[in-house]
């Protein structure tokens, strides 16, 4: 059974121990032995019976559950990091802390064609994927055991992908992750000093200077953040106050899809189809939000981070939580701005 363990040395750092993940078809390995050996694609039309039953799908022309004809399909992960069944039980083992590995782990199949990556889809297609993100958050947040939902995408082997068919993943957690807690705490400190929102202040500064902005539309801005950890790291942030991704309406999602498509295509063209991670950092779920966000004085804002994986994380980064980045974000943004014909 999976288990959550708390790091005794680093506050808010938790580890999911997930022994079932060892039995995945693609085993972890230090070598590139299995490269090119692509497992049988279970994420296309007609293979619906090879995945767990779907929990959401978009079917433009209608159709039965678990049948072909879908444009986006969400299924539980066959090799979940956490288990949906059971009660949350937290306990101490001597000095250490553990919890049952309760959570949800789902796969968002972005389209039925294994060769069409997210950035290759139409703006309507990407909007469908973003709608699936929203609908899954809205559904899962009803489960009071969960405090946070992280949605992410691993593209390419260096980004940790084991299956080629374009997909995103969702993990619902009984704990708010360290990085999110930290950002909320930092926003609270900022408000304490300035009486202004941190996310709003940073975005205002980015838009005023423009040095790190890649593009913007009426609702959203894409920029390379001041303290980018990775070369060409790019964020998309709403220009309006928006705590929770799941509150977006369809019009906002269309404009988000448009800027996301544009940004991903620039990265693809400029960096020759790089491996990347994409992460959606939204607010903690409603039922745990009061613990972290006493209303107005925390201006947390959901945002999407795209982390190209064109360099390796080494001992320095893993041993210090310091990062070395050879590319200034001003230079990265300038490069991405200038790409024509995306």
Q: Which of residues 248-287 bind a second copy (CB under 8 A)?
A: 271-275, 277-281
CA angle in degrees (0–180, nearest 5) for 208-307-56:
105
Cβ proximity to a second copy, 221 vs 278, nearer residue: 278
**Options 57-65, 256-264, 291-299, 312-320: segment touching a second copy (CB under 8 A):** 312-320
Nearer to a second copy, 11 or 217 (CB): 11
Rounded least distance, CB 106 to a second copy, Å:
13
Q: How far is CA 253 from CA 78, 147, 260, 307, in A?
A: 29, 24, 10, 21
CB of 81 to a second copy, least distance (A): 5
288 binds a second copy (CB under 8 A): no
Our finding on whether 65 is near a second copy (CB under 8 A) is: no
Task: Please name the helix (run of DSSP H) or strand (run of DSSP E) that holds residue 100, with its range, or none.
Answer: strand 96-100
- Among 65-73, 149-157, 248-256, 258-266, which window interacts with a second copy (CB under 8 A)? 149-157
Distance CA 3, CA 18 (A): 7
Of 105, 165, 167, 303, the catalytic one is 167
d(CA 46, CA 40): 13
Strand 3-6 relative to strand 56-58: parallel, antiparallel, unpaired?
Answer: unpaired
- The reply to whether 190 belongs to the active site is no
User: Which residues between 69 and 88 bind a second copy (CB under 8 A)?
Assistant: 81
**At its nearest, how many Å lie between a second copy and the CB of residue 251?**
26
Work out whether 231 is an interface residue with a second copy (CB under 8 A): yes
Q: How many other β-carbons are positioned within 10 Å of the β-carbon of residue 42?
A: 16
90-93 and 72-76 as β-strands: parallel, antiparallel, unpaired?
A: unpaired
Residue position matching structure tokens 């993990």: 171
22-61 binders of a second copy (CB under 8 A): 22, 28-30, 32
Q: Which residues contact 274 (CB under 8 A, 6 or more apart)?
A: 156, 232, 267, 268, 308, 309, 310
Minimum gap (Å) between residue 270 Cβ and a second copy: 12
Question: Does residue number 309 form part of the binding site for a second copy (CB under 8 A)?
Answer: yes
Size of the site for a second copy (CB under 8 A): 96
Binding pattern to a second copy, positions 167-206, x when CB under 8 A?
--x-x-x-x-xxxx-xx-xxx-x--------x--xx--x-
SS3 148: strand
Q: Which residues are catalytic?
A: 167
């Amino acid at each position: 059974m999976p288990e959550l363990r708390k790091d005794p040395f680093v506050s808010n750092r938790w580890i999911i121990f997930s022994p079932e993940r060892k039995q995945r078809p693609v085993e972890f390995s230090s070598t590139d032995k299995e490269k090119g050996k692509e497992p049988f694609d279970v994420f296309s039309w007609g293979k619906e019976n090879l995945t767990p039953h779907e929990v959401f799908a978009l079917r433009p022309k209608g159709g039965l559950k678990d049948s072909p004809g879908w444009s986006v399909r969400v299924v539980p992960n066959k090799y979940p990091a956490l288990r949906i069944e059971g009660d949350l039980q937290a306990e101490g083992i001597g000095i250490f802390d553990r919890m049952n590995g309760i959570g949800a782990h789902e796969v968002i199949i972005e389209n039925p064609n294994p060769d069409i990556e997210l950035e290759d889809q139409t703006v309507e297609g990407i909007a469908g994927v973003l709608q699936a993100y929203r609908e899954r958050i809205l559904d899962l947040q009803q489960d009071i055991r969960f405090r946070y939902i992280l949605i992410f995408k691993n593209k390419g082997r260096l980004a940790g992908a084991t299956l080629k068919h374009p997909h995103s993943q969702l993990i619902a957690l009984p704990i708010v992750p360290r990085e999110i807690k930290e950002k909320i705490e930092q926003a609270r400190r900022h408000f304490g000093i300035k009486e202004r929102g941190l996310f709003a202040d940073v975005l205002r500064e980015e838009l005023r200077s423009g040095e790190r902005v890649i593009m913007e539309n009426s609702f959203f801005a894409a920029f390379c953040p001041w303290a980018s950890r990775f070369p060409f790291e790019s964020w998309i942030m709403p220009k309006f106050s928006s705590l929770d991704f799941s509150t977006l309406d369809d019009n906002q999602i269309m404009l988000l899809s448009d800027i996301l498509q544009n940004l991903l295509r620039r990265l693809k063209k400029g960096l020759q189809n790089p491996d990347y991670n994409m992460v959606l950092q939204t607010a903690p779920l409603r039922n745990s939000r009061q613990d972290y966000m006493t209303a107005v004085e925390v201006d947390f804002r959901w945002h999407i981070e795209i982390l190209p994986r064109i360099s390796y994380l080494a001992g320095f980064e893993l041993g210090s939580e310091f990062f070395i980045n050879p590319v200034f974000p001003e230079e990265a943004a300038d490069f991405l701005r200038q790409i024509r014909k995306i």
